[in-house]
């Protein structure tokens, strides 16, 4: 799966330790892949039939979770992943898939108001204190974005010294820039959308963002002046997992189902469909 699977869904906001996308490096998920019981795909099929789960996402982070052109229909990698989990396990989504901003999503998971959530969520140490996580189903690195009509001589991450860089608050990009680009001036945004706007308007020299999100923005914004330069870096710092409430009784089944979708190539197909 190229730059992603390890054990082997637009942008953000609690955007601090529980904030959007990814923050500090994820160590292990809930004893990561060590569930209490190993399940086969046949054993998992319809094993949660009759069970109702409250399920959340954001609709704020394409290509993983965002709204279709009608502005109402949620689509993306994570939406498909949730549908695949539902098809395999047979559970019902209580009240339909709930879309909310990242702050509400992470708070709802932490307070057990949702059973599961998928929105390019990273299993940070802080989050693991208040919610559990599945195995990693997608792992991306960061990229540098520049305005191709405003050449500042930036060809890769090594050229960001002493530059003005926009990042989204609480993300892996924010963490990386804070730790490794100390001579740069950081412009910290509550959402990646305003970071992109700042670069489009020439107010900053570059944006650092997760690879899939950066390429998705360029692909879906025909009049954009932004482009990606250099290679992905900081790999392994933006691992996406399904978040599971600590009070949810079905952690083992859900995580085992994620593992099945990884092992049978479903997550590879989702990446190819939504991220390439």
Q: Give residue for tokens 């390019």.
A: 120
| pLDDT confidence band for 72 (50 / 70 / 90) | very high
CA distance 93 to 84: 13
Q: CATH 3.40.190.10 spans which residues of the chain?
A: 41-139+238-275, 141-236
Q: How far apart are CA 21 and CA 13, in angstroms?
A: 9
Burial 100-134 (b: 16+ CB within 10 A, else e): bbbbbbbbbbbeeebbbbbbbbbbbeebbebbbbb
Which is it for strands 74-75 and 65-67: parallel, antiparallel or unpaired?
A: antiparallel
DSSP state of 34: -
For the chain, what percent of residues have pLDDT higher than 70?
87
Task: Give the model's pLDDT for residue 102.
Answer: 83
In whole angstroms, what is the distance from residue 85 CA to residue 104 CA? 23
Nearest Cα neighbor of 116 from 88, 85, 87 is: 85
Q: How far apart are CA 24 and CA 21, in angstroms?
A: 10
pLDDT at 6 over 90: no
Q: How far apart are the first and last CA of the chain?
A: 11
Q: What is the pLDDT of residue 156?
A: 97
Element spanning 132, H or E:
strand 132-147
- Least confident range of 24-33, 50-59, 187-196: 24-33
CATH class assigned to 141-236: alpha beta
Length of the chain: 276
Assigned CATH class of 41-139+238-275 = alpha beta
Q: How far apart are CA 155 and CA 145, in angstroms?
A: 9
pLDDT digits (tens, 9 = 90+) for 96-129: 999 998 889 999 999 999 999 999 998 877 889 9
Q: What is the CA radius of gyration of the chain?
A: 18
pLDDT over threshold 90, residue 22 = no
Taking the C-alpha atoms of residue 12 and residue 168, their distance in angstroms, rounded to an integer, is: 8
pTM of the model: 0.77
CB 255 within 8 A of CB 244: yes
pLDDT tens across 132-149, in order?
Answer: 999 999 988 899 999 999
């Amino acid at each position: 799966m190229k730059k992603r699977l390890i054990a082997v869904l637009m942008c953000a906001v609690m955007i601090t330790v529980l904030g959007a996308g990814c923050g500090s490096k994820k160590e292990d998920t809930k004893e990561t892949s060590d569930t209490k019981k190993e399940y086969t795909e046949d054993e998992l099929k319809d094993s949660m039939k009759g069970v109702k789960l409250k399920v959340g996402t954001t609709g704020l982070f394409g290509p993983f979770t965002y709204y279709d052109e009608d502005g109402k229909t949620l689509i993306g990698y994570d939406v498909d992943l949730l549908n695949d989990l539902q098809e395999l396990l047979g559970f019902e989504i209580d009240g339909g898939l709930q879309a909310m901003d990242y702050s509400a999503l992470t708070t709802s998971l932490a307070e057990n108001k949702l059973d599961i959530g998928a929105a390019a969520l990273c299993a940070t140490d802080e989050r693991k204190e208040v919610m559990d996580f599945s195995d990693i189903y997608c792992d991306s690195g960061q990229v540098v974005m520049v305005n191709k009509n405003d050449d500042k001589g930036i060809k890769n991450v090594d050229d960001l010294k002493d530059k003005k860089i926009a990042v989204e608050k609480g993300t892996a990009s924010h963490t990386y820039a804070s730790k490794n680009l100390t001579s740069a001036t950081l412009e910290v945004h509550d959402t990646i959308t305003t970071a992109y706007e700042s670069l489009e308007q020439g107010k900053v020299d570059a944006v650092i963002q997760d690879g899939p999100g950066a390429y998705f923005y360029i692909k879906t914004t025909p009049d954009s002046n932004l482009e990606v330069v250099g290679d992905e870096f900081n790999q392994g710092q933006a691992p996406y997992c399904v978040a599971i409430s600590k009070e949810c009784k079905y952690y083992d089944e859900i995580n085992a189902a994620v593992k099945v979708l990884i092992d049978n190539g479903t997550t590879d197909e989702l990446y190819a469909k939504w991220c390439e």
